[in-house]
Amino acid sequence: MAAKRDYYEILGVDKNASQDDIKKAYRKMAKECHPDLHPNDKNAEARFKELNEANEVLSDPEKRARYDRFGHDDPMGGAGGAGFQGGFDFGGFGGVDDIFSQLFGGSMGSAQRRNAPMRGNDIQIELNLTFEEAAFGCKKSFEFTRNEICDTCHGSGAKPGTQPKTCSTCKGMGRVRVNGGFMMMERTCSVCGGTGKVIADKCPTCGGSGRKKARRTCSFDVPAGVDTGNYRTFRGDGEPGRNGGPNGDLQVVFNVKPHKLFRRDGTTVYLEMPISFTQAALGADIDVPTLGGGKTSYHIPEGTQNDTQFRLRGEGIQQLRSSGRGDMILTVRVEIPKRLNEKQKDLLRQFEAATTGKEYEGRKSFADKIKEIFN
Ligand SMILES: [Zn+2]
Ligand SMILES: [Zn+2]
């Protein structure tokens, strides 16, 4: 979508234009680009629509004031109205917070919301696994850093024996009212940072934050079959909540490293394996490497062509939380020998002399086609 044009620009008026000027400008332009005067002109139709939209906003002092402040991003304008409800309970959305208190006149404003219980942040950790660890499962242990409640002040931020005081600037509301020109607006109180409380004697351990950084170890069993992008959630092991809110979660996202031999798609494992041209021609029992580092014998039939795929049942990856196992898709690459000695070359010349032409299906049908076309 193209960027939306500025409403003042559309109407061709100055930002300080009076309501009268706007009305006049709209009338003049509406006459010029009215669709009735430009039948079948899509451009004129679009311009007329744009013009009406600009007029609708700028001719209404309240809408105009919001447009001056927020531009096209006004959450009250158009479809945006519904969008900003999502996730509101967690607060701390900065600018959006201001809009919220403005819409609701501060009656249920953010002051209470700021002091309301807030869930702690989630922590996301990426955990690297080898191909085999993911395929067969493993025990994993890793360290991570998180904020925790300070032991000395139990999260209040005040020196033991003292209490945080109610902020006198905002009277504990965390918000102050300011004149925003067109209307009264609320802002976060700069004295207390929105908490509604001021700490006179700060806790010596955390310096008043009520938090401390802690290094933690997490150990758990990774189930067999996990793949890149799978994750495990540890409820409540994230950052601590505020004002008695619940802790966030610790989320461990798996990242499976590639393997030198095998490739994986879900529970299917892919393996490319070179075989000799005599094995391909005569058929052979070949040793196919398997996931656990072992091997399994597999019979390649005679006359196997290059790039033929074979399915080895149950040699793939275990399904997550199930006993089933995927398959292995084996692709054979027929290798033509290089650096043959004279004896070997002689044997191949004897072989070539003994062929009748029927041995090579592809060559035979190609020769038949040539005959058809040119004879
Ligand atoms: Zn403390
Ligand atoms: Zn305050």
Closest alpha carbon to 7 in 79, 63, 86: 63
- Burial category of 332 from C-beta neighbours within 10 Å (exposed 0-12, middle 13-18, buried 19 and up): buried
**DSSP classification of residue 290:** -
- The CATH fold assigned to 1-82 is Helix Hairpins (1.10.287)
212: left (phi over 0), alpha (psi -120 to 50) or beta: beta
Q: How far, in Å, from the CA of 161 to the mean position of ligand 1?
A: 12
Q: How far, in Å, from the CA of 203 to the mean position of ligand 1?
A: 5
Q: Residues spanned by CATH 2.10.230.10 within the chain?
A: 123-256
**263-338 placed in CATH 3.30.420.10:** no
More confident residue, 18 or 94: 18
**Is there a contact between 253 and 125 (Cβ–Cβ < 8 Å)?**
yes
Q: How far, in Å, from the CA of 330 to the mean position of ligand 2?
A: 69
How much is the mean pLDDT over the chain?
84
Residue 112 has pLDDT above 50, yes or no: no
Cα separation, 258 vs 265, in Å, equals 11
Cα separation, 371 vs 375, in Å, equals 5
Q: Which two tokens stand for residue 36?
A: 């009735």
Cα separation, 125 vs 131, in Å, equals 19
Q: Residues spanned by CATH 2.60.260.20 within the chain?
A: 263-338
Residues with CB under 5 A from ligand 1 (ion): 150, 152-153, 203, 205-206
pLDDT of 244-255, one tens digit each? Answer: 889 999 999 999
**For the CA of 196, the nearest ligand:** 2
Residue 229's pLDDT band (boundaries 50, 70, 90)? very high
For residue 294, the model assigns a pLDDT of 94
pTM of the entire structure? 0.60
Q: How far, in Å, from the CA of 166 to the mean position of ligand 2?
A: 8
Task: Give the type of residue at 340.
Answer: L
HEC states along 80-121? Answer: HHHHCCCCHHHCCCCHHHHHHHHHCCCCCCHHHHHHCCECCC
Residue 111 has pLDDT above 60, yes or no: no
* Residue environment code for 277-314, b if the CB has 16+ CB neighbours within 10 A, otherwise e: eebbeeebebebbbbeeeeeebebeeebeeebebebee
pLDDT of 297-317, one tens digit each? Answer: 999 999 999 999 999 999 999
More confident residue, 242 or 289: 289
More confident residue, 198 or 328: 328
Helix axes 42-58, 61-70, angle to 10 degrees: 100
DSSP H/E element including 301:
none
**For the CA of 195, the nearest ligand:** 2
Residue 46 has pLDDT above 60, yes or no: yes
Contacting residues for 123 by C-beta, under 8 A, at least 6 apart: 144, 146, 237, 238, 239, 248, 249, 250, 251
62 HSE (CA, 13 A, CB side): 5
Q: Residues spanned by CATH 1.10.287.110 within the chain?
A: 1-82
pLDDT of 141-177, one tens digit each? Answer: 999 999 999 999 998 899 999 988 999 998 888 888 8
**For the CA of 111, the nearest ligand:** 2
**123-256 placed in CATH 2.10.230.10:** yes
Task: Give the type of residue at 140.
Answer: K
For residue 357, the model assigns a pLDDT of 84
Distances (CA, A) of 210 to 121, 155, 217, 256: 15, 4, 22, 38
**For the CA of 148, the nearest ligand:** 1
